[in-house]
Structure 1
Amino acid sequence: MEKYRTQKKKLISISEVIDRTGYGRTWIYNLIKKNSFPMPVKTGERTIAFVESEVGAWIDENIFLSRNQAA
């Protein structure tokens, strides 16, 4: 638990994730099911959010992998 207290985190909504990735809601949930996208955080009884830095790292990793594949 101490690890999470020392670093400042920001939560973003699914709408923000959709805007940042360009993916639709259904596709994002499919990626989550496949453990290929950062897991959401439950913020309420029926609401979730995502850790902004995790989504950003996922985007960066996908850009890197896409640009560095053997041609």
Structure 2
Amino acid sequence: MTLKNLFIQIIIRFVFAVLFISLAVNAVHTAGWGFMAIISVFFATSDVVKGTRMLQAYIEIKKSIDKQ
């Protein structure tokens, strides 16, 4: 996996997080805190956490490559 592929995956994670957040906001606005809203929040949180960890790994890899 190249750094470019890793960066694209990070962007995709954050895009999915925004999508799930918007779905959760829409679900809460129309029907309250139901099953779909809670699941959407769960997936959004998961994507944000995974994207943040991947971003930290990307930064560390980039730093180690730049040192060489």
- Normalised to the residue count of structure 2, the TM-score between the two structures is 0.39
Greater helix content = 2
RCO comparison, higher one (Cα < 8 Å, 6+):
2
- Normalised to the residue count of structure 1, the TM-score between the two structures is 0.38
Greater strand content = 1
